[in-house]
Amino acid sequence: MKKIILITFILIGHLTYSQDWDFEKPDYKKIEKNIQMEKSNLFYKTLMNRFQQADSTMTLEEKRHLYYGYIFDENYSPYSRSSYRDSLRVVVQKEEIDSLDLNKIIVFTNEMLLKNPFDLNAINYQLYSLEQLGNNESFEKRMIQLRIIVDALMSSGNGKSKKKAFYVIYTSHEYDLLNILGFQFGGSQSLIEHYDYLTITENEAKLEGLYFDVSPCLNSLTKMLKK
């Protein structure tokens, strides 16, 4: 089949790249403290419940605590791989996809999202399937969740330099952000200190590449190697 719709097209008209929007890098120590306060609106269990319910009223501060606070969750594992990913790949690579296949995609991606609620690739495939099946209610729910994640990511930087890097908790989100911003990966990825630098092809913004702070990923990897 033709390549399933990219997140870029789902969000078309919602985001345009600018080097000057307001952003703030996450303060992980402050976030860790805030999400443990049970009576606070930033308490992590409350935030995750609101995310699962697709609460569109979440503030940017709450979205940021939800996304970046996940690194303190016991289930956070940035380099783990869902066993359903291969099953999903078999379906989406078919030349023709029918309603049965679309429902399979929804089942597989639901399982993937149970393991990683911020898997943008899984959300993307599910949005495509839900739209094709005409399931508007579930589509809108997933779209709200997608926007919550993207809003948090976009609030962290613009990627123009190390100082203004995007902050991600999964390296896969680097490539998702490229798509969302309308850029194409230039083929080269470099780890510089705790930053990933991805080159991008020729673009109107005249950027050669973008920086991503991947500290949580590297810290998690270090812990894994010590075990």
Angle at 225 between CA 165 and CA 32, to 5 degrees: 50
Nearest to 180 by CA among 208, 196, 159, 162: 159
CA max distance for the chain: 52
Find the helix packing angle between 136-154 and 60-69, rounded to 10°: 90
Written as tens digits, the pLDDT of the chain (227 aa) is 445 555 544 554 445 555 566 899 999 999 999 999 999 999 999 999 999 999 999 999 999 999 999 999 999 999 988 889 999 999 988 888 999 999 999 999 999 999 999 999 999 999 999 999 999 999 999 999 999 999 999 999 999 999 999 999 999 999 999 988 889 999 999 999 999 999 999 998 899 999 999 999 999 988 877 76
Nearest to 102 by CA among 128, 122, 121, 137: 128
